Structure formats: structure tokens, C-alpha cells
Amino acid sequence: MSPTVQSVIALALVVAAALYFILGWLKKRKNPGCGGGCGCSGSSKTKLGK
């Protein structure tokens, strides 16, 4: 395997890993409740509000 092909494969793996972590971080960042300032979870707040 040539060094160029190895570099391309390694770069693709690094980009895939970075995207995986960034997308996971973005999913955790979304707060379904009141915005996250009160410390409650989004599901229990909607149940209590009904």
C-alpha cells in the first residue's frame, strides 16, 4: 500500500471520528425542556405542567 493511500485512509478515519464526536455533542447540547436553566429534565416538566 502506498504512503498516499495510507494518508488518505488515516485522514478519512480522523474526519469520521471527529464528526461522530461533534454530532454526539450537538445531540447532548439540545435541551428539550425549559432551556436548561432550572435543572429539571424536559420530560418531567411537561408531565408536571399538564
Q: What is the pTM of this model?
A: 0.56
The larger pLDDT score, comparing residue 37 to residue 25, is at 25
pLDDT category at 25 given cuts 50, 70, 90 is confident
The larger pLDDT score, comparing residue 24 to residue 13, is at 13
Three-class SS string for the chain? CCHHHHHHHHHHHHHHHHHHHHHHHHHHHCCCCCCCCCCCCHHHHHHHHC
